[in-house]
A and B are shown apart, each in its own frame.
Chain A
Amino acid sequence: MAKAKLMDYDKALELFEPVLGFEVHVELSTKTKMFSAAPNNFGSEPNTNITPTCLGLPGSLPVVNEEAVRYSISLGLALGCEIAESSSFARKNYFYPDLAKNYQISQFDEPIAINGNVEVELPNGRIVQVDIERAHMEEDAGKLTHVGGSTGRIQGAEYSLVDYNRAGVPLVEIVTRMIEGAEHDAPELAKAYVATIRDIVIALGISDAKMERGNLRCDANVSLRPRGSDKLGTRTETKNVNSLRSVERAVRYEIQRQAQILADGGTIIQETRHWHEDTGATSAGRPKSDADDYRYFPEPDLLPVVPDPALIEELRAALPEKPADRRRRLKADWGFTDLEFQDVVNSGLLSEITETVAAGATPQAARKWWTGEIARLANAAEGDEGIDISPAQVAELQQLVDEGTLTDRLARQVLEAVAAGEGSPREIVEAQGLAVVSDDGALIAAIDEALSAQPDVLEKIKDGKVQAAGAVIGAVMKAMQGKADAARVRELVLERAAAL
Chain B
Amino acid sequence: MSDISAEQVRHLANLARIDLSDAEIATMTTELGQIMEAVASVQAVATPDVPATSHPIPLKNVYRADVVADVIPTDKALASAPEHDGSRFKVSAILGEEQ
> A residues within 8 Å of B by Cβ?
30-32, 37-39, 45-52, 55, 63-69, 86, 88, 93-98, 104, 141, 144-146, 148, 154-155, 157-164, 285-286, 293, 295, 298-300, 302-307
Q: B96's contact among A65, A97, A285, by CB below 8 Å, is which?
A: A285
CA distance A97 to B81 in the complex (A): 12
| Chain B residues near A94 (CB-CB < 8 A) | 97, 99
- Are B99 and A96 in contact, CB atoms less than 8 angstroms apart? yes
CA distance A329 to B62 in the complex (A): 41
The reply to whether the CB of B47 lies closer than 8 angstroms to some CB of chain A is no
Q: A67's contact among B61, B66, B85, B90, by CB below 8 Å, is which?
A: B66
The reply to whether the CB of B39 lies closer than 8 angstroms to some CB of chain A is no
| Chain A residues near B61 (CB-CB < 8 A) | 303-307
B52-99, CB < 8 A from A: 54-55, 59-72, 74, 77-78, 85, 87-99
Beyond the given pairs A37-B69, A159-B92, A162-B91, 7 more chain A to chain B contacts, judged by CB atoms under 8 angstroms and listed by A's residue number, are A31-B66, A38-B71, A51-B72, A63-B63, A64-B63, A163-B87, A307-B61
Give the B interface residue count (CB, 8 A).
36
- Are B88 and A293 in contact, CB atoms less than 8 angstroms apart? no
- A-B contacts, 27 of them at CB < 8 A, read A32-B66, A32-B67, A32-B68, A39-B68, A46-B87, A48-B71, A52-B72, A55-B72, A66-B65, A67-B66, A69-B63, A93-B15, A94-B99, A95-B97, A96-B97, A96-B99, A144-B91, A146-B93, A155-B95, A159-B91, A160-B90, A161-B88, A162-B90, A163-B87, A163-B88, A299-B54, A304-B55
**Shortest Cβ distance from A45 into B: residue:** B87
- Are B66 and A30 in contact, CB atoms less than 8 angstroms apart? yes
| Chain A residues near B63 (CB-CB < 8 A) | 63-66, 69
Q: B68's contact among A37, A154, A302, A306, by CB below 8 Å, is which?
A: A37
- Are B55 and A303 in contact, CB atoms less than 8 angstroms apart? yes
Whether A160 contacts B71 in the complex (CB less than 8 A), given A45-B87, A295-B15, A303-B60, comes out as: no
| Chain B residues near A30 (CB-CB < 8 A) | 66
**Shortest Cβ distance from B95 into A: residue:** A154
| Chain A residues near B78 (CB-CB < 8 A) | 47
| Chain A residues near B88 (CB-CB < 8 A) | 46-47, 145, 161-163
Whether A66 contacts B64 in the complex (CB less than 8 A), given A159-B93, A304-B55, comes out as: yes
B19-60, CB < 8 A from A: 54-55, 59-60
Q: A63's contact among B59, B64, B74, by CB below 8 Å, is which?
A: B64
Minimum distance in angstroms from A272 CB to a CB of chain B: 9
| Chain A residues near B59 (CB-CB < 8 A) | 303
Chain B binding surface SS class: loop
CA distance A159 to B63 in the complex (A): 38
- Are B64 and A97 in contact, CB atoms less than 8 angstroms apart? no
| Chain B residues near A68 (CB-CB < 8 A) | 66
- Are B87 and A47 in contact, CB atoms less than 8 angstroms apart? yes
- Are A46 and B74 in contact, CB atoms less than 8 angstroms apart? yes
| Chain B residues near A55 (CB-CB < 8 A) | 72, 77
CA distance A30 to B67 in the complex (A): 9
Q: B71's contact among A39, A88, A158, by CB below 8 Å, is which?
A: A39
| Chain B residues near A154 (CB-CB < 8 A) | 93, 95-96, 98
- Are A96 and B65 in contact, CB atoms less than 8 angstroms apart? no
Q: B74's contact among A39, A47, A307, by CB below 8 Å, is which?
A: A47
| Chain A residues near B89 (CB-CB < 8 A) | 47, 97, 161-162, 164
**Shortest Cβ distance from B96 into A: residue:** A286
Q: A158's contact among B69, B93, B98, by CB below 8 Å, is which?
A: B93
Minimum distance in angstroms from A234 CB to a CB of chain B: 19
- Are A148 and B54 in contact, CB atoms less than 8 angstroms apart? no
- Are A305 and B60 in contact, CB atoms less than 8 angstroms apart? yes
Whether A157 contacts B93 in the complex (CB less than 8 A), given A30-B66, A305-B60, comes out as: yes
Q: B67's contact among A31, A46, A162, by CB below 8 Å, is which?
A: A31
| Chain A residues near B15 (CB-CB < 8 A) | 93, 293, 295
CA distance A362 to B14 in the complex (A): 67
CA distance A478 to B74 in the complex (A): 67
| Chain A residues near B72 (CB-CB < 8 A) | 50-52, 55
- Are B68 and A88 in contact, CB atoms less than 8 angstroms apart? no
Q: A38's contact among B60, B68, B90, B92, by CB below 8 Å, is which?
A: B68
**Shortest Cβ distance from A285 into B: residue:** B96
| Chain A residues near B91 (CB-CB < 8 A) | 97, 144, 159-162
CA distance A155 to B90 in the complex (A): 17
Whether A49 contacts B90 in the complex (CB less than 8 A), given A298-B54, A305-B61, comes out as: no
| Chain B residues near A45 (CB-CB < 8 A) | 74, 87
Minimum distance in angstroms from B64 CB to a CB of chain A: 4
